[in-house]
Structure 1
């Protein structure tokens, strides 16, 4: 297909790809101190926060893979884009404390709340996690570029793909730092959205599909077991069990949006709390769009291909390019625009991971232990050298571990196991901000023991519990990673709470007081309880009255939105805060409360409507 690119496609492709490094280099020409280099001078606006968070979170592998999963499995993959619990936690629980402390890294937060050991453990774990993910991003990115441009005049080898990704991202990241990254991420987001929405538009416009409504009708005409526009699979499903989706997967979302340095760093760089909140909420809306233009387009491709090509089987990863070949008009530059969007997405996560890892290495290792009196110039120079070192190391490892079949790549397998470490990190943050008696020693123990708990849970389940027929029939023959994450989170929480109450009591509360927390834990749990109560009522109606989830979807969404509006009204009637440090927090809450409620309501509607 790509060998048939028209001249207009090539022109559009080249021009669009030149925008990224050009914009990044222009920004990089400005002289920068440490705060400007690592946090863009804390000056980025909400739309740039949204674009950068989305660009950091989504890559070409996600766009192509999401459509492929929609083609092969169905709409259930949309759960990976329903992130409202994580967005709410970041916006209204963690954000004010993060920004009030004027942090560079989230590890500094753990040092304030607990001790230096907690900070060091977080730094070590996050640098390792980012390095593994960076190697995977280089590996998959290069293979994706090979695949996208294979057979055309732009065909490249795996080695050239690695160097291209490294050179393009380094061209603006090394000199421009965070400011260059957020600008290019925003451009990449626009290009990705343009590519994905264009493919979806022309797919839904095909007469065999008849628009999105036509797709829903077409899917509904199939036997229930053959329908694809549904969100729930059995608890025993090996990949996407519904029980794991509402436990471990939501916890993973919370890790990514609230305690993961390379995503939260954009929030730390915002010009104000208001911009930070608006940006993260807007990114939640952007992610919620993905199921409707990527995953559903994959479902439409399944029906379209069946209609036009009969029972011919297409590889799910190849569904995207086959769809482009089938539905996109040639000779008008749209194919070039789509390829530019996918290529841009290849770079969008790499630059953010590089910047986050070097921020941790520079501030938490170099400045903390090697050269405590380092000047801004020395700090920025070390940061730039760290980026070069990370890129060289990532490319070298990606070359060393190369296999033509990416499913057999060692580092991708390691990357899939990183969730052993994340529950302990989440527990240290979550309980630390909500419970003043959480002690430093207990938090360190929870972070260290978390991966051991995960391995133990798998060993017990796979070796013993799965041998019980009823258990295996309910939850599968092996322990799904989502279930394992939830079990690990619970055990780590019990460890932190238990040790804080017994062996390592915390009686001073110094770290907790330094956070100057505005959110009362009782209010947080009361809000969660009300939300679950409302959903319980509607779920009860569905099962007791034999009502279709579609029939209550709008009402459940409106009831959810009303909870936010009532809470906002209560906030307006509260007296103004008397402590200067809290000034303006209530007003920011009110300003963003409606949009947070609308995001949650839209997510709730989707969870019911596509049940």
Structure 2
């Protein structure tokens, strides 16, 4: 690709990529304590929280993988970006407890609630999850660099690409820690959004497409079963069944935004609870843009490539982003260089964040906890920096020998499925721990350990047993989708924790639960959820019983959802910049409940409109 770039593209590419390590290294020059290194001194403001959460959560998986799935499957992939239940759970259930305890890691939170064994198991599981994601990020990043430099005198190998990514991210992460990362993440977020919107704009502007409205018309002109701009696929769909979306995928969102160290670490580093809430809500708005610039561009690419290149049945969907850049971006003005810089930044934004999170866990939960309990700040920082190097070399080694540069389709979905064996037990330990005071430590440990076993068990039972029954296959498909597996594993883990807490391992000491000082009670939470579901049941009835179209009720459903949050704003506590006050007491534009309500209302409107 580099051989096709003009001088202005190369200049733009180099300058934009140089900004990231330069900014990170400047910050790294400041002297740091352990709190500065791992949590940026707990001083980051809401806009940096938003940029860092978005940059951490969005990677080249999204710019390449999301667009590729939009190309091959359709707009249904937008469910990966509609995360309002998880954001609400973090903002109004978990956040105050996390920050009040002033922990560095979520594993420390589990130790307060349960015991040190739960803390250690969480650390082990999260490091494994992060390592899998790191390997995927290195893999996608390296093959992207191969494509970028292919055919030029700077052509690099797959291994060279892995080493280059490791060297660039280490250049500022090792010395700067969290402060360098949040600054570079915010820069990378701007670059990614610019790149994504540029590709979407020029794709949708092609005469074969005719803008977003033209895309909807184009899609609506084909038979319903072939249309791509819809959010729901049959329950037996192999990749994105609607039943899995509202069960297992929703639980995966809750894991990512409430119990995942490398994302929640940004919330722990915020300067106040108010900044933390505003930042996480703002990141939800940013995520809602992805379906409209990445996934919709993938759908548009499908129709564009058909119109221009004929039969695309054998086209690898993960190449759609790169093919679009070659096809629709005007040459000679630096746009290609800018887009490729954003694509490369997407890789760095995930790698640096995951490295920092993994080393935080290893340093504080293993080194300081078990190896050197009285370690000084200097020793803690030195060990943390050594762990970053170790994680980079481990990721490169696994990426080199596990994956190959020959991609298979829908890599994003495959990585998601790999990670989901570990997450249900973690979610159960956190959710039941904060919502049910009788949850015991030994029962939580059992749920954490048994969850991956349950995942393998239910998969085996279905794939080698139930899949032989035609009626079951007709509903849920030939193989058990990972979203269904996650939900079933979650239910088994809940049953394990509850059953053991009530029988073999009753919890007679509520000190751990009391230390959390949970503000939202289980009954209040379930009443709010019940009222939300009742409102949606009314509009769903209008669709299936009265016969109204989902588009016709979308706006009303969004308005009713926002009204629910307006009703609750005077009934739920919130932290404002000047201290704890009633949620409705400050200026309305500062009310986090209403911003959360707007995010939820827009999300609900999208769920109806694109049904």
* Structure-2-length-normalised TM-score: 0.96
Match of 1:551 in 2: 552
For the 8 Å contact 1:5–1:152, the answer to whether it is kept is: no
Q: Is structure 2 residue 210 aligned with structure 1 residue 210?
A: yes
- Which whole-Å CA distance do the structure 1 matches of 2:550 and 2:414 have between them? 37
For the 8 Å contact 1:401–1:409, the answer to whether it is kept is: no
Match of 1:172 in 2: 172
For the 8 Å contact 1:235–1:241, the answer to whether it is kept is: yes
Match of 2:109 in 1: 109
- Which whole-Å CA distance do the structure 1 matches of 2:117 and 2:192 have between them? 40
Match of 2:39 in 1: 39
TM alignment of 1:440-451, pairs within 5 A: 440-451=441-452
Q: Is structure 2 residue 260 aligned with structure 1 residue 260?
A: yes
Match of 1:76 in 2: 76
TM alignment of 1:123-134, pairs within 5 A: 123-134=123-134
Q: Which moved more, 1:249-258 or 1:586-595?
A: 586-595
For the 8 Å contact 1:23–1:184, the answer to whether it is kept is: yes
TM alignment of 1:328-407, pairs within 5 A: 328-407=329-408
Structure 1 residues 302 and 415: CA distance shift in structure 2, 3 A? closer
SS where residue 570 of structure 2 aligns? helix
Q: Is structure 2 residue 279 aligned with structure 1 residue 282?
A: no
- Which whole-Å CA distance do the structure 2 matches of 1:387 and 1:505 have between them? 40
- Which whole-Å CA distance do the structure 2 matches of 1:415 and 1:232 have between them? 19
Q: Is structure 2 residue 247 aligned with structure 1 residue 247?
A: yes
For the 8 Å contact 2:146–2:158, the answer to whether it is kept is: yes
Aligned residues: 606
Structure 1 residues 37 and 327: CA distance shift in structure 2, 3 A? same
For the 8 Å contact 2:363–2:380, the answer to whether it is kept is: yes
What's the Cα RMSD here? 2.2
> How many angstroms does 1:254 deviate by?
0.5
Deviations 1:422-473 (A, max 9, x none): 1000000001001111111111111111111111211221222221111110
Match of 1:563 in 2: 564
> How many angstroms does 1:105 deviate by?
0.3
SS where residue 232 of structure 1 aligns? coil
> How many angstroms does 1:299 deviate by?
1.1
- Which whole-Å CA distance do the structure 1 matches of 2:490 and 2:408 have between them? 28
Match of 2:543 in 1: 542
Match of 1:139 in 2: 139
Q: Which moved more, 1:393-402 or 1:477-486?
A: 393-402
- Which whole-Å CA distance do the structure 2 matches of 1:506 and 1:299 have between them? 52
TM alignment of 1:301-316, pairs within 5 A: 301-313=301-313, 314-316=315-317
TM alignment of 1:44-83, pairs within 5 A: 44-83=44-83
> How many angstroms does 1:409 deviate by?
13
Structure 1 residues 558 and 153: CA distance shift in structure 2, 3 A? farther
TM alignment of 1:511-550, pairs within 5 A: 511-550=512-551
SS where residue 222 of structure 1 aligns? coil
Match of 1:184 in 2: 184
- Which whole-Å CA distance do the structure 2 matches of 1:585 and 1:118 have between them? 35
Match of 1:12 in 2: 12
Deviations 1:120-156 (A, max 9, x none): 1111111122122212221222112112332245432
Q: Which moved more, 1:216-225 or 1:431-440?
A: 216-225
- Which whole-Å CA distance do the structure 2 matches of 1:292 and 1:160 have between them? 34
For the 8 Å contact 2:318–2:410, the answer to whether it is kept is: no
Match of 1:322 in 2: 323
For the 8 Å contact 1:99–1:268, the answer to whether it is kept is: yes
Structure 1 residues 193 and 344: CA distance shift in structure 2, 3 A? same
SS where residue 591 of structure 2 aligns? helix
SS where residue 199 of structure 2 aligns? helix
- Which whole-Å CA distance do the structure 2 matches of 1:585 and 1:36 have between them? 32
SS where residue 570 of structure 1 aligns? coil
- Which whole-Å CA distance do the structure 2 matches of 1:70 and 1:136 have between them? 20
Q: Which moved more, 1:59-68 or 1:103-112?
A: 59-68
* Structure-1-length-normalised TM-score: 0.96
- Which whole-Å CA distance do the structure 1 matches of 2:136 and 2:101 have between them? 33
Structure 1 residues 231 and 503: CA distance shift in structure 2, 3 A? same
- Which whole-Å CA distance do the structure 1 matches of 2:415 and 2:66 have between them? 21
- Which whole-Å CA distance do the structure 1 matches of 2:391 and 2:306 have between them? 46
- Unaligned runs of 5+ residues in structure 2 are none
- Which whole-Å CA distance do the structure 2 matches of 1:371 and 1:521 have between them? 39
For the 8 Å contact 2:70–2:298, the answer to whether it is kept is: yes
Q: Which moved more, 1:48-57 or 1:62-71?
A: 62-71
- Which whole-Å CA distance do the structure 1 matches of 2:9 and 2:84 have between them? 38
> How many angstroms does 1:308 deviate by?
2.4
For the 8 Å contact 1:74–1:229, the answer to whether it is kept is: yes
Match of 1:118 in 2: 118
- Which whole-Å CA distance do the structure 2 matches of 1:547 and 1:342 have between them? 42
SS where residue 127 of structure 1 aligns? helix
- Which whole-Å CA distance do the structure 2 matches of 1:410 and 1:58 have between them? 15
SS where residue 583 of structure 1 aligns? strand
TM alignment of 1:578-597, pairs within 5 A: 583-584=580-581, 586=583, 591-597=591-597
- Which whole-Å CA distance do the structure 1 matches of 2:70 and 2:413 have between them? 22
Structure 1 residues 548 and 24: CA distance shift in structure 2, 3 A? same
For the 8 Å contact 2:561–2:597, the answer to whether it is kept is: yes
- Which whole-Å CA distance do the structure 1 matches of 2:308 and 2:416 have between them? 38
> How many angstroms does 1:479 deviate by?
0.9
Match of 2:194 in 1: 194
> How many angstroms does 1:304 deviate by?
1.8
- Unaligned runs of 5+ residues in structure 1 are none
Structure 1 residues 490 and 130: CA distance shift in structure 2, 3 A? same
For the 8 Å contact 1:132–1:411, the answer to whether it is kept is: no
Deviations 1:528-575 (A, max 9, x none): 111111111111110001111111000111111110000013348x9x
For the 8 Å contact 2:60–2:137, the answer to whether it is kept is: no
> How many angstroms does 1:408 deviate by?
11
Match of 1:90 in 2: 90
- Which whole-Å CA distance do the structure 1 matches of 2:161 and 2:226 have between them? 39
SS where residue 274 of structure 1 aligns? helix
For the 8 Å contact 2:200–2:294, the answer to whether it is kept is: yes
- Which whole-Å CA distance do the structure 1 matches of 2:242 and 2:272 have between them? 38
Structure 1 residues 413 and 82: CA distance shift in structure 2, 3 A? closer
Structure 1 residues 131 and 331: CA distance shift in structure 2, 3 A? same
For the 8 Å contact 2:417–2:482, the answer to whether it is kept is: no
Q: Which moved more, 1:100-109 or 1:503-512?
A: 503-512
